[in-house]
Every structure is written in C-alpha cells, then in structure tokens.
Amino acid sequence: MTSRTLRWVAPDEPLPPAAHALTEPSGLLAATLDLSAERLLQAYRGGIFPWYSEGQPVLWWSPDPRMVLALDRFKVSRSLVKTVRQLHRKPSWCITLNRQFEGVMRACAAPRPGHPGTWISEDIIAAYVDLHRRGYAHSVEVWTDARCDTLAGGLYGVSIGRMFYGESMFARATDASKVALFSLVTLLKQLGFRVIDCQQNTRHLSSLGAAEVSRVSFLSEVIDLTQQASPNWRSVRITFPQV
C-alpha cells in the first residue's frame, strides 16, 4: 500500500488482504470498531492480528517480516533442561491444557515491571474467551503444586487447522512460561503442526529459536496449515516434555 491513509472497515465488511498493510507504521492494515470471534477468525486466516490500546479503535496488523517459531528449531536452554528434569524426578508442578483459559489471559494482562499498561483489554478478553468456547483458542497452564491449585505460568493462543498463533505468556515462577511453551511445542509436533506465529520480533523470542520470515512466506504457510483438519482438542492431553 503506497498511501499512508488508514483503511476503516465496517462491521459487515471483510478486512483487506494482508499485502495491503502500510510500510509505516510497519504492518498496520486497517481499523474497525468491532471485535468478535468471527472477525478474529477471518483475520487469523488471513495472517492478520489485532493490537491496540484502550480507547483506540481496533487496529489490525500484518507485519513484514513476521516472527515465527519453527517447532523443530525451538531452543531448549540448559537451565530449562534442568528444570524439566527436576519436575520429572520430583513433581512439584503440574501442567494442564484449557483448564483456566480466562485466568491465563488475565494473568497475561496483569501489569509487569516497566510495563504498567496492557493491550489485553476487557473487550479482548471477551472476544478470545468466545473463541475458546468455540474451540479455537487454547491455553497451557503451569501450576505450582501437584494439586493444580495456583498458577505459576502459562500461555494462550489461537489454533485453526494445524496452524497455531501465539498471543501472550506469563510467569510467576522461574521458567514457568518456558516450561509451558516447551510442553506446547512438544504437543504441537506430535499433532502435526509445524510453526507457531509469534507476530513481532523480540529478543526473548529470538533466544527461544524464533526467526523472521517474509510476509509472503508466512502467508503461504498459513494458507496450507489452516486448510488442514484440526485435531480433536477435547481429547488432547498435555504433559511435561522429556529431555
């Protein structure tokens, strides 16, 4: 898109193709006043995601390049290996799938040191909880004891076909979010997934093995994977990975 004019999209109108995104600000595609499960599904199938602050219209993005974690390139640090081995020897944590989706979202939305605000608003939570009820959004929870009483960390994201879109993670205990991600990566590989969309480049994601790919390459992957059959998430169980 050569124009710097932001495209406004009506509630009954589809989002424009991701290739129409602006170059400045990089990846900004469109704005709407609506946010719904249907709108989110359309967006993710087109390689688009929402990101905006409280009080703004809903802003839709498709950056180029795109940060993606290829599952077979996930980096397991020595400290993470040590943590997982300890959990197998002496189970002091437990891990679950889709047990506390809204709780994970709210934990991800909680203020963090140096980042008092959050983009995960009540509207965002409501829309993704609706996606979760429809079977498209999923959470991984790590609990601080074997009784699964207190959340230590976790993550959530969206799955369509065999494509997983990571959204956010949190940790209240050392390595808790990394254990959640390692467990998810292991599970997704078993289910025939290839990548996790990480949206934007950060040092933390790079340290885990994520890398940038072109938007064209990313969209090709999305088209292929979203058209594949989805796993039966109700029958899926997650466990700590073996190392």
Answer whether 126's CB lies under 8 Å from 180's CB. Answer: no
What pairing do the DSSP bridges indicate for beta strands 7-8 and 28-32?
parallel
Q: What is the pLDDT of residues 135-169, one digit of tens each?
A: 999 999 999 976 788 999 999 999 999 999 999 99
Q: Based on the number of CB atoms within 10 Å of its own CB, is 101 exposed (0-12), middle (13-18) or buried (19 or more)?
A: buried
Give the angle 226-24-208 at the CA atoms, nearest 5°. 50
Rounded to an integer, the average pLDDT of 230-237 is: 97
Does residue 19 have a pLDDT over 90? yes
Residue 36's pLDDT band (cuts 50, 70, 90) = very high
Whole-angstrom Cα distance, residue 69 to residue 186?
Answer: 13
Q: What is the pLDDT of residues 165-224, one digit of tens each?
A: 999 999 999 999 999 999 999 999 999 999 999 999 989 999 999 999 999 999 999 999
Whole-angstrom Cα distance, residue 144 to residue 91?
Answer: 10
Tell me phi and psi for residue 165, to 5 degrees.
Answer: -110, 110
Predicted local distance difference test score (pLDDT) of residue 52: 96
| CATH of the domain spanning 7-63, picked from 3.10.129.10, 3.40.50.300, 3.30.70.3550, 3.40.640.10 | 3.30.70.3550
Q: What is the pTM of this model?
A: 0.95
Predicted local distance difference test score (pLDDT) of residue 149: 84
Q: Matching CATH topology for 7-63 and 67-235?
A: no
The single-letter code of the amino acid at 113 is P
Tell me phi and psi for residue 52, to 5 degrees.
Answer: -160, 165
Sign of torsion over alpha carbons 18, 20, 23, 25:
negative
Fold for the domain defined by 67-235: Aminopeptidase (3.40.630)
Domain ranges of the chain: 7-63, 67-235
